Structure 1
Amino acid sequence: MRISLFACLAISALAYGIPLQSKNTPVLAAIQPGSYFVEFQGEPARAECDSEHKQFYKEVTAAGINMYTRNTFKRLFNGVAIDLPNTRNLERLEGLPSVKRTWPMQMRSRSTAIPSTNVEPNLIFAHQHTGVDRAQAELGLDGRGIKVGVIDTGVDYMHPELGGCWKTPGCPFQYGSDFVGDGYDSGTTPHPKPDPDPRDTCDGHGTHVTGIIAAQGSKVKGVAPKVTLGAYRIFGCPGNGTGQSADDVILKAMEAAYADGMDVINMSFGGGSGWSEDPLSVAASRLVRKGIVMVASAGNDGSNGLYTSGSPGLGVGVINVASFENWMITSLSIDIVGVNKNTSIVHSPSGNNKYRFMFDTPADVVAPKDGAGTVEGCAPYAEKYTNKILLIKRGNCTFVDKAAYAQAAGAVGVMVYNTEAELMSPTSVSPNVTIPLVVIKAEDGQGILNELQVGAVSLTATNHTMSVSNPAGGQISRFSSWGPDPELHQSPAVGAPGGNIFSTFPLALGGYTSLSGTSMASPYVAGMAALILQARTKKIGVEEVRRLIVESAHPALEANSTAIMSPLRQGSGLANIWDSVNALATIDPSRLSLNYTESDTESSASWGLDGQQHVVGQSTRMLTLFNHSPTNFMTCTMTSLAAMSVSSYMANGSFTAVPRMWPNVNSTEVVATDTQPHAYIESPGLPIRVAPGTSQRVYVRIIAPTGLSTNDKWFYGGYLRFNLLWDDRVGTAQSLHVPYTGFVGDYTKLDVLSAPEGGLPFVSLKGSTDVLEDNAHVIIDSTHKLVVHYRLEHPTRLLKLRLVDDANATQGYLPNGYVEYIGRNYQSARGRYSNSTINGTLYQDTDLTKPFETTPGAYRVRIDALRPLRNPSDPEGYQIWHSPRFIIDSVSLAKNSTAVAQDFEGGEEILGNSEIF
């Protein structure tokens, strides 16, 4: 259970007291500290659900519990979403006979995808590398007859590339609903009614995503341009309030897509806890079980390293997708005129869609230093630059700050040159910024600087577009998130083009743009799923669709290396629909998670192989090969492909956000064979022959690296390449890949908290970072408090923060002192660590609903963090930290000021931003 730290809005205007189930129940602008999912005892989608809901309300009324019903659910989740104005009633609510459990709700954020820029059909370049062009041209596949639901920001269905229609005969859009309206997140309470339909003219994310699936080919040709579409809007316009959507709104959209009979659902958003137990992941898993192909973005937190894949993509059976860079960048151009050279360069979309980077007449370019003497534009300028375009270096402050300082100096536009080769998204949305800001490539920025050294530079920027080669084409996108999930399940599942993808955009915002993100990779695979369903006339199960996509993918090499990239970054590799639809075989399972080398519960002994015993570092897995050819025998051999090992720790034991890799791509050191995993078919003997239309079990033994230190906490992995040959006249041959990953050492002994020698955890006085000395005397009142700082280097299923006395007896839980299913702290600019305030209020219960005032006395802070895969009821399963002893001399709280929520003093939320990807 993760406590969301996003800002919540008060709902004092609502009438509490009577549980509501009205059809006119308003959509709330944001979740509250007391917003919960309440799950009932029975499974969803049963006739008994109605009576179970009625029984719950009878029990609530009898117990005198005041609450407000936000939404009710019966199809994917049996329960309700509620606001509980008095959270002290939570324990009573959980004790009702009809209640199974509760979860605090979260907000999922909308954000700019990670853009590049505008026009010409650069999806065509991607299609050439993924087999889409051949599948469309040679097999006539276009998605006809398949229903695809897009849960997103809505769509501008009046775009001519998307049909220019809504629910008319022959129109692609036959399904959909708006659950929020333009003004959602605006802070009004109760919220205005949603619009009649999900048209989006103000954001564009969902329009771009939909174009990747189904654009009809004037400037953009989608993967499956003839699918029938459902658009389900869960985000309002940018710039309103929190820019987020509540979990219950998203769940409503998922239920609506299911009720409309979607065959495929795309979800290009995420966040949550990073656990498969997250409610949206559970709901997505249920949709898979009901026969719907669920596709989701893996996330854009690759710079934060391992365990960054988010929900709902971690649901069982969900295809969560990593991003590969497109081979071309298509963009609106900027025409530069200098003394020595004139050139045209590409740029990102504007950081604010309302203010496009358009200059029909020449504008002068300058690159001044700011008031702090830097070229980064992070301080006010001493001079005025009226009607100038400012060239500013990326770094040290936000794009909003750079644009605001430039605007205050009179500038009419900003170009920020990146510190890396590629383009990226410059979010500059702010009510105080009314000039356009774009990002250009590092080399283009340097070129303009060189021209400025010899004379004046000017630019024009119109609707002229250009395409340039992307030097990173075919490589994994830097932003693409890593797996595994905290329980060692592989993530992502597969990769697809997602970096620099040109697609449709709302007509009011220019009609087209290029964006980057796993948001773009996910709909690419959703379109592929539609083509497979069409090719097999829908006579195929969800798991079979997943296998065809995942197993036919092609593993990629690490950039600037001959080594194969870890499956924890790319899944099975870059998807190829031509290979998928032509596959005559599949393998079950399609990926292998080997747990950890010192305890393999699925070892060879478990399979009953004669004479085989478990050996540390070795695992035997059973796979089933299916020969789908009705007429020809299939012969099989296997090649073992080792991938790079990765770790979140350096050789000196320090944590690193960017994973360390072995073999080191920048080293000429000879790689010993025992530092690489390998595998072989253990049974039956080779070659393996599988009769037409039958299956064959195969036992594969995988040997983990023995030359890598267990102290370095390595994840190893590789691919089992099954080489298949049929005895038909042409000798049909295909290769399928099954990725595997494992952990070197004992995963259950990993520390969750950062090592104390690294400086955390520690306790300090509020407003100070000085470590509190042993036996220090303190007072607690409205201005004097203590803060405990800690960092999670690994996700944990349960975190407890308590005050204990000299006998180590629990005196009470701190605010936010009992949290389940939480992710690790990211080590980027935000989220480096977390805080909890010792403010004089403690809690008797783990639901944190029974507060009481701390009494003077001697205390320590105790943190218990459950180690991976350990049982919460096992006291030996926790990493435990005790602070130095301190003495509270007095506690003085204002009357009725007992805290309910955690008081953060400068730290960040445990996970990074939850967002649209």
Structure 2
Amino acid sequence: MKVFAIISALAAATLVSAGKFHIPKGAKYDLQPNGYIIQYQDSVSRSNAHSNLKKHAIDYKVRNEYDVFNGAAITVTSDHDGDALAAVPGVKHVWRIQRYSVPKTTSNSGKVDEANSVHHMTGVDAAHKKLKLTGKGVKVGIIDTGIDYKHPAFAAAGATEGCFARYGKSCRVKHGWDFVGDAYNGDTVPVPDSDPMDCQGHGTHVAGIVGGNASNIKVGPKPVVPWVGVAPDVTFGAYRIFGCSGYTNTDVILAAMEMAFNDGMDIINMSLGGGSAYKENPTAVLADKLVSFGMNVAGAAGNDGTEGVWMVSDTGLGETSTSVASFDNAYGAYYTVSYAGGKYPYNFASAWGKAISLPASATLFPLFDKAGVLQDGCDANAYKGLDVKGKVVLVLGDYSRCGSVARGEVAKTVGVAGLLAASTPFGMTNLAGAPGLPMASIENRAGEALLAAYKKNPKNVLTWAKDPSSVKVEGGGAPADMSSYGLDGDLRSKPDIGAPGGNIYSSYPRAKGSYALLSGTSMATPYYVGSQALYYEKTKSKPNGVDIRRVFKNTATISKDWGSKTYVSAAKQGAGLINVWNALTTTTRLSPDRLDLLDSDNFQGVQKITIKNIGKKTETYTLSHVPADALNSYSKGNSWPHAKPIIEADHATVKFSANKVKIPAGKSVKVTITFKEPKAGNAKHFPIYSGYVVATPSREDSPAVHVSYIGLKGSVKKVPIMDKDSGLPLLAVRNEKGELSEVSGKNYAFNYKTAAPTVIVRFASHTPNFTIRVHHPTTKAFLGYMVSGQSGTAHFPTGRMTDLDSEGELSLAVFDWHGMVLPKDVPGEKPVFLAPSTYTLIVASQQKLTKGAYPADFEVYNLGNVIISA
């Protein structure tokens, strides 16, 4: 096994140095009680580490042991917290064990993508047809809910049936393990076994995108339309980390990553994430280690695009791993309706559940108001005096006043034959609809075309197609709204690249219907992974993870939003939409694969890139600059960033040391690039600007290559960290029933047992060090960092929160105080108890890219004095 060589390099020595304790967010439902991940110093052996824990009187149970990661997951049974673990000699990092849920994907009922249509967007179809690439010989590990390995889409080439003998000759799932068991929910004890059968569906769908093949199924469930994954001959490893419901935990994920490494997987797909974070999180740390040993790791960028900036997910944040954004599929197979010579796709309501078929007598009737404006159909009075009986009414698909059920019921009362809702601003909506009413969503452009034709001739006839047909969909081919925005807390460019993830048809467990159409960065990540497998096969090599990521980023397609004339920010699309054909045929390498300009205070305006000609002939390259949209998230002086950033034309100025360079075959040239920050854009609004530096070869048979850059105008240390828009941070009290209430007045009498003082915060962006400091009220002397029984010591880095938590409530980080503080941030320091008295509580969050000098480098909120009685 690969791991033996690594273990042999570890010396049995004990280092006396301080470890670092990291706490994610502090939300209770995110953390495993008393569970910790420990990473040892590189030169510390497992036996020495355990010996040191015992010497410090720490009682614990081992959950998992790790070799490549060089650490362990433990449940602490003694009265020790993460700070105590970090103080143990030989410990490098300590994290709370974090819970992960199966990523929420969007299920799209009622429509199915045309077979392989998504491959038109990326050049995968050309790689299949012209180069005959299938990913054969490449091993891909799927760390997920398992794989339904008996599904016929995973049968080996030439097999007439699916894989009915686990890991047999007819099956391409050759490796795997169930780390948890069916009953595991994140809190229960894992019951592992060798059977990674999927009982949820997510992992089977992901695996199908990488390398499923349902193009010629003869036995077993057949798809609505034939389809083939990106690399239909890859060999799979199925590493199941979820039960049939509930959560999984960081310790399980790390164990699966190491097994995938030991099983010889070439690439690991991790379509999961735990929210905004720094790169020093355990999955990203291990991913970087695995890449250094020859693997390739890709993680989903996250589905929090509607939350605004700073939300890219933790799994792909490693320096050498890849964070993958999602693009919507440009094509789909839909039922259509024809009108006045035009053919328009529609998405029927789930309550109707089938293609619409109406007679020619059911003509179109737009529901106008007196001013000639299309109405939403929510009010019965809108139909008063109108002859709509037996007609198909067209309404505006604005659902801010009422839903599809309500407007459908209103339409039924006036006897309409059907109802069409024109979406705003574009795309088609998934409607529930009213039972018994033919109802559907149509695109915005379709609504406009129908209205224009109606005004010319109201007697035009609607014709309903009996079968679906292939159409290019409105909004398709652009970055998905749900795909998360970067940056990370160090202003690094994440996500790295985009791939198709919206409306992707793939395999699903046979017990759940065999096939499904889903959307999410969970779908984009395996598309990227499958593309890498094609590259491995084409080059007959297994390049370093950074090198192959560079090739795909260099050759991606820089994309625009639907209907836009400008390019999407690199904070949304990374380097752009993956272009597999370009990656396979390029004769140029451009490095590094990103340029981080940072902010105005730390501006890295002079950058160097290296252009390498790997072709067989001398090449001349022309250098150019492609600016992208700038993102303004603080236009109103707000502390919580806009859910949808305001697009601005804030463009950097770019100057090259040479506008053209001539490079012989096999040689490289360095070019110096001088950037100047955008003249436009208000520095007080912290606009994130970006763009692309492009090197275009003179030969037409070699594609242009590019590298993205990104920066922030203004001082990032002034970007709000705490959500003061919601009146936070604030002081509250928790009673004996566990209920919280805000404290009013300055003389509230707390006590540690039945009325504990409680600090409530919301993180609006990253901070390298969030603290709650306890001071003496008169001398102002620092007494220590608050130690909360619920969330540990308030002294840790953290990323941004979502607006709402998993239960739909406002996301909050809550810190109850029962008198314990950590006096100093030094090795071996232990918490002490402060007797009831009067104390000053100060919430202080370190500003980004600062050295952490208090109070100059902190965003400080003085919550005042708390009077604590015995």
TM-score normalised to structure 1 length: 0.74
Q: Distance in 2 between matches of 1:860 and 1:793?
A: 24
Q: Distance in 2 between matches of 1:440 and 1:786?
A: 54
1:128 aligns with 2:131: no
- Which is worse superposed, 313-322 or 416-425? 416-425
**Please, which of 717, 723, 729 is the counterpart of residue 761 of structure 1?**
729
Which position in structure 2 is the counterpart of 1:742? 711
Q: CA offsets per residue over residues 16-38 of structure 1, 9 Å max, x none?
A: xxxxxxxxxxxxxx974221112
Q: Secondary structure at the match of 1:225?
A: coil
State how 1:224-235 maps to structure 2 within 5 Å. 224-235=231-242
Deviation at 1:780, TM superposition (A): 2.6
CA distance 1:396–1:150, shift in 2 (3 Å) = farther
State how 1:7-22 maps to structure 2 within 5 Å. none
State how 1:519-598 maps to structure 2 within 5 Å. 519-538=522-541, 540-598=543-601
Deviation at 1:539, TM superposition (A): 5.7
Which position in structure 2 is the counterpart of 1:825? 801
1:81 aligns with 2:88: no
Q: Distance in 1 between matches of 2:293 and 2:317?
A: 17
Deviation at 1:205, TM superposition (A): 0.5
Which position in structure 1 is the counterpart of 2:646? 661
Preserved CA contact (<8 Å) 1:798 1:866: yes
Q: Distance in 1 between matches of 2:268 and 2:177?
A: 14
Which position in structure 2 is the counterpart of 1:796? 767
CA distance 1:802–1:194, shift in 2 (3 Å) = same
Q: Which amino acid aligns with 2:66?
A: F
Preserved CA contact (<8 Å) 1:275 1:310: no
CA distance 1:261–1:832, shift in 2 (3 Å) = same
Q: Which amino acid aligns with 1:702?
A: F
Which position in structure 1 is the counterpart of 2:613? 627
**Please, which of 259, 262, 272 is the counterpart of residue 259 of structure 1?**
262
Which position in structure 2 is the counterpart of 1:752? 721
Which position in structure 1 is the counterpart of 2:748? 777
CA distance 1:186–1:649, shift in 2 (3 Å) = closer
**Please, which of 44, 51, 55 is the counterpart of residue 58 of structure 1?**
51
CA distance 1:790–1:422, shift in 2 (3 Å) = same
Q: Secondary structure at the match of 1:33?
A: strand
Which position in structure 1 is the counterpart of 2:184? 184
Deviation at 1:537, TM superposition (A): 0.6
Preserved CA contact (<8 Å) 2:819 2:835: no
Q: Secondary structure at the match of 2:121?
A: helix
Which position in structure 2 is the counterpart of 1:325? 328
1:107 aligns with 2:99: yes
1:68 aligns with 2:54: no
Q: Distance in 1 between matches of 2:63 and 2:558?
A: 45
Q: Distance in 1 between matches of 2:91 and 2:637?
A: 49
Preserved CA contact (<8 Å) 1:420 1:442: no
Which position in structure 2 is the counterpart of 1:907? none
Preserved CA contact (<8 Å) 2:593 2:707: yes
Which position in structure 1 is the counterpart of 2:220? none
Preserved CA contact (<8 Å) 2:841 2:866: no
CA distance 1:123–1:543, shift in 2 (3 Å) = farther
**Please, which of 854, 862, 871 is the counterpart of residue 851 of structure 2?**
871
Deviation at 1:858, TM superposition (A): 3.0
State how 1:890-909 maps to structure 2 within 5 Å. 890-891=869-870
Preserved CA contact (<8 Å) 2:783 2:823: no
Unaligned runs of 5+ in 2: 1-21, 156-161, 216-225, 338-344, 356-376, 380-396, 405-420, 448-465
Q: Distance in 1 between matches of 2:423 and 2:474?
A: 15
1:703 aligns with 2:696: no
Q: Distance in 1 between matches of 2:705 and 2:532?
A: 18
Preserved CA contact (<8 Å) 1:394 1:418: no
Q: Distance in 2 between matches of 1:732 and 1:871?
A: 49
Q: Distance in 2 between matches of 1:69 and 1:255?
A: 17
1:2 aligns with 2:42: no
Deviation at 1:707, TM superposition (A): 2.6
CA distance 1:759–1:732, shift in 2 (3 Å) = same
Which position in structure 2 is the counterpart of 1:809? 781
Preserved CA contact (<8 Å) 1:298 1:480: yes
Deviation at 1:417, TM superposition (A): 12
Q: Which amino acid aligns with 1:2?
A: I
Q: CA offsets per residue over residues 279-318 of structure 1, 9 Å max, x none?
A: 1101111111112121111000011111111121101121
Q: Which amino acid aligns with 2:232?
A: P
Q: Secondary structure at the match of 1:56?
A: helix
Q: Which amino acid aligns with 1:115?
A: S
Preserved CA contact (<8 Å) 1:646 1:659: no
1:488 aligns with 2:491: yes
Which position in structure 2 is the counterpart of 1:610? none
Q: Distance in 2 between matches of 1:97 and 1:855?
A: 31
Q: Distance in 2 between matches of 1:519 and 1:655?
A: 27
**Please, which of 628, 633, 636 is the counterpart of residue 648 of structure 1?**
633
Which position in structure 1 is the counterpart of 2:695? 722
Q: CA offsets per residue over residues 206-247 of structure 1, 9 Å max, x none?
A: 111111111114222101101111111111113xxxx11111
Q: Which amino acid aligns with 2:812?
A: S
Preserved CA contact (<8 Å) 1:753 1:793: yes
CA distance 1:207–1:464, shift in 2 (3 Å) = farther
Preserved CA contact (<8 Å) 2:135 2:530: yes
Q: How many residues align?
A: 740
Deviation at 1:103, TM superposition (A): 1.7
Deviation at 1:637, TM superposition (A): 0.9
Q: Distance in 1 between matches of 2:812 and 2:213?
A: 48
Q: Distance in 1 between matches of 2:817 and 2:611?
A: 61
CA distance 1:768–1:157, shift in 2 (3 Å) = closer
CA distance 1:519–1:465, shift in 2 (3 Å) = farther
Q: Which amino acid aligns with 1:209?
A: V
Preserved CA contact (<8 Å) 1:220 1:504: no
Q: Distance in 1 between matches of 2:303 and 2:346?
A: 29
Deviation at 1:86, TM superposition (A): 2.1
Deviation at 1:791, TM superposition (A): 2.8
Q: CA offsets per residue over residues 676-733 of structure 1, 9 Å max, x none?
A: 2131212xx343100011111111112210232211111111111211124xxxx534
Preserved CA contact (<8 Å) 2:213 2:232: yes
Q: Which amino acid aligns with 2:710?
A: T
Which position in structure 2 is the counterpart of 1:213? 210
1:690 aligns with 2:670: no
1:679 aligns with 2:639: no
Q: Distance in 2 between matches of 1:464 and 1:71?
A: 53
CA distance 1:642–1:345, shift in 2 (3 Å) = closer
Q: CA offsets per residue over residues 158-183 of structure 1, 9 Å max, x none?
A: 11111122322253111111111211
Q: Distance in 2 between matches of 1:534 and 1:866?
A: 47
Q: Distance in 2 between matches of 1:440 and 1:844?
A: 61
Deviation at 1:87, TM superposition (A): 3.5
Q: Distance in 1 between matches of 2:303 and 2:260?
A: 25
State how 1:226-375 maps to structure 2 within 5 Å. 226-238=233-245, 243-271=246-274, 274-329=277-332, 345-346=347-348
Q: Which amino acid aligns with 1:512?
A: Y
Q: Distance in 2 between matches of 1:54 and 1:705?
A: 56
Preserved CA contact (<8 Å) 1:118 1:502: no
TM-score normalised to structure 2 length: 0.77
Q: Distance in 1 between matches of 2:519 and 2:584?
A: 27
CA distance 1:157–1:118, shift in 2 (3 Å) = farther
Q: Secondary structure at the match of 2:748?
A: strand
Q: Distance in 2 between matches of 1:826 and 1:559?
A: 26
Q: Which amino acid aligns with 2:751?
A: I
Deviation at 1:651, TM superposition (A): 4.1
Q: CA offsets per residue over residues 240-273 of structure 1, 9 Å max, x none?
A: xxx1111111111101111111111111001155
1:860 aligns with 2:857: no
Q: Which amino acid aligns with 2:196?
A: P
